[in-house]
């Protein structure tokens, strides 16, 4: 079923991206995993930017080989990156998620100030949504963004956590409440905060079970002031901007899940065809080939659903119309990643849980984040059910 939905140009681009990442990312993957090297990640981001790959979402900026670049190709890039190293892929996915609202919603001056550096790979972006009391339920958001009319500035107070690229980003897109009296989801805005803004600090970096090399931590805003032009879109329009960003991010995460699942599957199938047990290759055993078959069909399903969502976006489907297919892509691909990672460890036995015998244990640790980041699997199911039960409001 491989690449069934993709056309010849898409398939050619996959080969191009894969070869590029084999040159730039694969030689640095060990430093990212074993040395927690941010410099290695940043070097590959810079190489991707200089090659034009971070402009795939922006046809007006892209100057590469594709006649019609789009989310399909950004998803391919995500998949091929995650196949090699998911921690690195997290960094570029976050950068693209930051570039996306800048391109669509920033004023011309702000867009020209911050977007070129991100898409050229010279600067790093971050998105600040999650808080101690607000994750998928953004109605509990405590961050306040207040307008100071006397100085024509926005003032930000709040603490964000689980922020990818937290202490290493050059620009932050921050979501917060501008109208506390508005109904939930109606009084939120998004502003651009550059690194070095007084009051911006990074209290903590988190230590995760996987995704080593990826910098994730807290970002605090203690009276940070930015010019009024740094507002994205209109005041109190942050929820609409966030929906578009999350649709984009969830399709990208579909690509991430596919890359991780494929990487695990390839390890399992190699082992099943070379390891001998009880006088036969391991893959001849029913319990093993059953696992291989289960992984195979799940990957095919995830691929079809992920690239369906990407193609829908590229054809002009957006907003609430894209919410369900994006949520399905994210749900199926990320759950497939954890399934394949777990089954691969089982197929390998002792070799699967020891770092000395390959990447299976790393993939197992890395994959566990996928059904959580960008909206949990439970949240994805809520979005799907909400679309299918339009006369009801499912109770979270």
* pLDDT 10s digits, 188-221: 999 999 999 999 999 999 999 999 988 999 999 9
Work out the pLDDT band at 150, boundaries 50, 70, 90: very high
Predicted pLDDT at 148: 95
271 Cβ neighbours under 8 A, 6+ residues apart: 282, 347, 348, 351
Predicted pLDDT at 1: 64
Which residue of the set 249, 335, 343, 361 is catalytic? 249
* Top-confidence residue, 93 or 76: 76
- How far is the C-alpha of 195 from the C-alpha of 123, rounded, in Å? 10
**Mean local confidence (pLDDT), 154-177:** 95
> What radius of gyration do the chain's Cα atoms show?
21
pTM above 0.85, yes or no: yes
249 has catalytic annotation: yes
Provide, rounded to the nearest whole percent, the portion of the chain with pLDDT above 70. 99
In the numeric block, which tokens belong to residue 97? 């998620």
Predicted pLDDT at 206: 94
**Mean local confidence (pLDDT), 61-73:** 92
**Mean local confidence (pLDDT), 349-356:** 92
The answer to which of 38-47, 139-148, 274-283, 387-396 has the lowest mean pLDDT is 387-396
Domains of the chain (ranges; CATH) run 8-119 (1.10.540.10), 125-236 (2.40.110.10), 239-388 (1.20.140.10)
Provide, rounded to the nearest whole percent, the portion of the chain with pLDDT above 90. 82
CB atoms within 10 A of CB 82: 31
Q: What is the per-residue pLDDT across 226-261, written as a single tens digit (0 to 9) for each?
A: 999 999 999 999 989 988 888 989 999 999 999 999
């Amino acid at each position: 079923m491989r690449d069934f939905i993709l056309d010849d140009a898409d398939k050619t681009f996959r080969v191009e991206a894969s070869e590029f990442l084999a040159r730039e990312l694969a030689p640095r993957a060990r430093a990212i995993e074993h040395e927690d090297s941010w410099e290695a990640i940043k070097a590959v981001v810079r190489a991707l930017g200089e090659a034009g790959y971070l402009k795939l979402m922006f046809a007006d900026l892209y100057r590469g080989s594709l006649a019609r670049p789009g989310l399909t190709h950004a998803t391919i890039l995500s998949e091929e990156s995650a196949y090699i190293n998911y921690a690195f892929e997290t960094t570029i996915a976050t950068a693209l998620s930051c570039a996306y609202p800048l391109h669509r919603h920033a004023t011309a001056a702000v867009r020209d100030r911050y977007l070129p550096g991100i898409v050229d790979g010279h600067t790093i972006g971050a998105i600040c949504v999650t808080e101690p009391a607000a994750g998928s339920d953004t109605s509990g958001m405590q961050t306040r963004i207040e307008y100071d009319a006397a100085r024509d500035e926005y003032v930000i107070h709040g603490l964000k956590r689980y922020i990818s690229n937290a202490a290493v980003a050059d620009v932050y897109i921050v979501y917060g409440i501008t109208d506390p009296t508005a109904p939930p989801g109606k009084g939120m805005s998004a502003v651009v905060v550059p690194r070095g803004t007084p009051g911006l600090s990074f209290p903590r970096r988190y230590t995760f079970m996987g995704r080593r090399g990826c910098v994730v931590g807290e970002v605090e805003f203690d009276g940070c002031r930015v010019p009024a032009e740094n507002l994205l879109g209109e005041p109190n329009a942050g929820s609409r901007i966030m929906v578009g960003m999350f649709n984009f991010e969830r399709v990208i995460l579909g690509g991430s899940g596919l890359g991780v699942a494929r990487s695990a599957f390839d390890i399992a199938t190699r082992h099943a065809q070379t390891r001998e047990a009880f006088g036969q290759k391991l893959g001849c055993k029913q319990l093993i080939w059953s696992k291989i078959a289960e992984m195979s069909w799940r990957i095919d399903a995830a691929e079809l659903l992920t690239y369906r969502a990407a193609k829908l976006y590229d054809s002009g489907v957006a907003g609430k119309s894209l919410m369900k297919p994006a949520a399905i892509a994210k749900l199926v691909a990320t759950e497939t990643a954890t399934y394949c990672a777990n089954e691969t460890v089982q197929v390998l036995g002792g070799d699967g849980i020891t770092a000395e015998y390959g990447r299976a244990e790393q993939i197992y640790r890395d994959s566990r984040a996928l059904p959580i980041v960008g909206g949990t699997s439970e949240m994805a199911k809520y979005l799907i059910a909400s679309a299918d039960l339009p006369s009801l409001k499912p109770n979270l």
